[in-house]
Every structure is written in C-alpha cells, then in structure tokens.
Amino acid sequence: MKKTDVIVIGGSAAGLTAAITAKRHYPNKSVLCIRQEKKVSIPCGIPYAFGVVGTPEKNLIPADESLAKSGVDSLVGRVVGIDRDAKTVTTDDGARHGYERLIVATGSNPIVPPLPGHDMANIFAIRKDVDYLAGVIAALDQAKGLCIVGCGFIGVEIAEECKRLRPNLKVNIVEMLTHCLQLVYDEDFCLKAEETLRKEGIDLQLDAKVAAFEGDGKVERVRLADGNAIEADIVIVGIGAAANAELAREAGLEIDNRGSIRVNRYMQTSDPEVFACGDCADKISFFDGKPSGLKLASIATMEARIAGANLFSISRANRGVIGVYSTVLGDSAFAVAGLTLKQARDKGYNVVVGEAESSNRHPGCMPGGTPLRVRLVFEAGSQVIIGGQVIGAKSGGELINAISACIHQRMTADDIATFQTGTHPALTASPIAYQLVNAAELAIAECQKLRRKHR
C-alpha cells in the first residue's frame, strides 16, 4: 500500500481544482488525484459539442497536463471504498492507497424520471462521459425529430446547437413550468429567451408534463399528460442532477436530506479529516443560510479552493452560494447573479430596483455597438445589493461577474454608484451611461421616493 498525504477522489471541475489548490497551499505534501474518466469533459462546454465545438473530443480539460504541471500525481481508476479508520481508499483493481487527508469530489449524476418507457433506446441524459456523448451525437445524426425534456440551460443550449448544425431537424422542448429558464430569470427575461428560441425554429411546449415515452424498443414519440404526443426518434433529458454521494454514504459520512454529503463552512464532512466539494456536497444560500440545490461548475471550483486550502490549517470559509449564470441565445447574452426580483420578494425582502440600458460602446456607432440592459436588485432598508440581471451584448457575460463581486462584498447602491470604472469607446459604455453605475443611481432615487412617501 502506498501512502499519500492528500488523496482527491474525482477529476472534474471540483476534483482537479481541489488537488491543484492543495499542492499550492501545501507544496511539501504529496497529492494524488484519482478519477474514473481518462478524458475529462469541460462541463459547461458539453452543449457546444453538439454544434460549434464539433465533437466531445474537442471539449476536454487537459487533466493530466494540468495536474503534472502543478506537481500532483494522477491515477485513472474507480474508487470503490473508503476505510476511514484505516485512512485508506480502495480502487477497482484492488489497490489500497493511504491518506492523511481526503477530499471527495465525486460530482453528480443526471436525473432521469422513471416514466413509462424511460429505458428505451435513444433516450439520453447528459453525462460527463466523452464516449457516451459521442454516442448521443451519433444517434442525432440519424434523427429526424428531437425532443428535449427540460427548458433549463442544458435544454436551450443543446436545442440551439442542434438546430444550427441541422436546420431541418425538428426540435421540441417540453417544460413543466410556465416559462423557459424560469428558475433563473425574471419573467421578462424569460419571454425574451422564448422569443429568441421560437425565431430559430425551436418549438416550446410550456406548462406541459411528460407522461410516457412510447415506441417499439426505441423511442418514437413523447406522450404528454394532456394526451398530445410529440413525434421524436431521439430524446434528451435535461431536468437536473443529483449528488453522487453513494461512496461517502457507504463510508459512514453524514448525508443530508437532499442526498448530498453534509459539510461545514470549511468544507469538512462529519469526519474532520475528510473534505467534500462540488456537486456531491451540500450547499447553503449566501442570502439566508438555508439549504440550496444549486449545482454549477463555478460553485464547485470555489468550494474546491476552500477545501484544498483548509486541509491542514483552516484559512477559508464558504459564505454560501450566490448563483451566477450566463448563456447566449441568438446573439444576446442572458446573465444573472444572486436573487431575481421575484426570488427576493418570495424570500420576504423589501426591495428597490434600478435598471439602465445603453450601448456597450461609445459612441453607439462604434463597431460592435450593441444594447446592454442591467437590472440591479437592492434590499430597500440597507440598500445592499442582492441580485442583478443582464441581457444584450455579450460583454454582459463578464459584467455579471462584477455584479457577483458586488453581491459577495455586500456593496450598497451608493458604493456601486461611486466606484471608479475604467471605460473605453471600443470596449465599454460611456462613463456617463455606464449601465452598472446608472442602475445603482436609479435604485437610490427609488429609495428616496420611498422615504418621502413614508414621512
């Protein structure tokens, strides 16, 4: 048996980041990353392997090179058991590896509802497996009709990519909620997304539930709860993911009621020498400390940097998940950080909103000039920012990260309205019309109106 100071189980976003972080913070410690996949997919790039990227083989994290460059050892294999008393892990070839500290980053598995016919051929979930994804694309090449179950990010991005690559492919998305992307954006943003998808020839079945998959061994149609049917010879299910925590459960680590590994703010499990991060670990909200079901690669890597840094000396704490999302539909960016207006109100916040729109260039006739709209949500009493949404120019994909930083640092509307921006005609809006600053100013004006009203 070989002993290693730190073992990381899992080699996707969380596992790789945790291993590299551990080595950076503890350069004298040996670190071993054990992963199942020889080829590691870039999680957020998977939908684009169906179109612009070309193949799953082009959507890869250079895992071995990244680990080796950082001084981390790597092993391709499946961990089948953790013995916390002996402080060892066992791989599927029977080998045992000892550790001082262990990080579990086993990710998640896609949810496939056990509806009638769910096990027929040509019904796929989106797995982080290169060969599996290549099989999905091969099946798509022979298909005439695609039905996607779930109108979240995976659903809309795959739909767009498939339609661009094969314009004659009939594409339907079935969503049980009233709007696509409803769990993430406010209604007017959702409506704009729906308008964009429909213009591209993608059919949306909203407020609709799947009752069954039908066919003779291979899917031929999707039966809806209202009795209508959608003809489809391939189905992709994209309704979310569940924590892959079985290995931790078998090792006796505490599991929460969502099936995730219970961790504290330092990413320690119920065993203080075992840490967990990424989709397999439980989450709490940045805003109210309540459990959260968010699963994002950006969250996974944030947690991994906390876990890797805390292994032998606690130095970082997890404040909770904010939730930062972005996508591109048509030529427009759709991005959100923190709470939407609806989510904030549902949580009981008294809110004020500031919204500003202008070109992302100045003057607007500069090449690349595109409208960019920013909505900021503040708690009315403290004027602390709790959310923001962006739609329009693709530069919004980076602006939303700045908004997330404002949320993370609990900046007030006045902080945002008076912070110093760098602007340039070919890169940003004018300093006079800078959307982030003006949205904050307009929120302050709304707060002043409220104060006058209550005097």
pLDDT tens-digit readout, 375-392: 999 999 999 999 999 999
Tokens 């409220």 sit at which residue?
A: 450
Q: What's CA 46's distance to the chain center, in Å?
A: 12
Whether residue 318 is contained in a domain is answered as: no
Whether residue 179 is contained in a domain is answered as: yes
Per-residue pLDDT at 455 exceeds 70:
no
Could you read off the pLDDT of 38-80 as tens digits, one per residue? 999 999 999 999 999 989 999 999 999 999 999 999 999 999 9
Q: What is the CA radius of gyration of the chain?
A: 24
| Same domain? 260 vs 342 | no
**Confidence (pLDDT) at 255:** 98
| Same domain? 126 vs 67 | no
Work out the average pLDDT over 406-417. 97
Of 186, 214, 239, which residue is a domain's last? Answer: 239
**Confidence (pLDDT) at 1:** 85
| Same domain? 146 vs 128 | yes
| Same domain? 280 vs 399 | no
Whether residue 324 is contained in a domain is answered as: no
| Same domain? 209 vs 257 | no
Work out the average pLDDT over 3-26. 98
CA distances, 31 to each of 65, 75, 192, 272, 377 (Å): 15, 11, 47, 18, 43
Work out the average pLDDT over 256-276. 98
| Same domain? 93 vs 123 | no
Per-residue pLDDT at 296 exceeds 80:
yes
- Percentage of residues in the chain with pLDDT exceeding 70? 100
- Percentage of residues in the chain with pLDDT exceeding 90? 97
**Confidence (pLDDT) at 174:** 98
Neighbour count for residue 283 (Cβ, 10 Å): 24
Q: Answer whether 15's CB lies under 8 Å from 8's CB.
A: yes
Per-residue pLDDT at 454 exceeds 70:
no
Per-residue pLDDT at 248 exceeds 90:
yes
Per-residue pLDDT at 94 exceeds 70:
yes
Per-residue pLDDT at 2 exceeds 90:
no
| Same domain? 277 vs 186 | no
Work out the average pLDDT over 306-332. 97
**Confidence (pLDDT) at 449:** 79
Of 239, 268, 296, which residue is a domain's last? Answer: 239
Whether residue 194 is contained in a domain is answered as: yes
Residue 46, C-beta contacts closer than 8 angstroms, at least 6 positions apart: 56, 59, 126, 128, 133, 154
Whether residue 163 is contained in a domain is answered as: yes
Work out the average pLDDT over 140-163. 96
Residue 43, C-beta contacts closer than 8 angstroms, at least 6 positions apart: 12, 13, 128, 297
| Same domain? 116 vs 227 | yes
CATH number of the CATH domain containing 174: 3.50.50.60
**Rounded-to-integer distance, Cα 228 and Cα 172, Å:** 13
Confidence of residue 453 (pLDDT cuts 50, 70, 90): confident
Work out the average pLDDT over 114-121. 96
Per-residue pLDDT at 451 exceeds 80:
no
- Amino acid (1-letter code) at residue 216: D
| Same domain? 419 vs 335 | yes
| Same domain? 122 vs 235 | yes
Domain count, the chain: 3
| Same domain? 116 vs 45 | no
Whether residue 11 is contained in a domain is answered as: yes
Q: Answer whether 257's CB lies under 8 Å from 272's CB.
A: no
Of 310, 342, 357, which residue is a domain's last? Answer: 310
In which domain, by residue range, is 384 found? 331-450
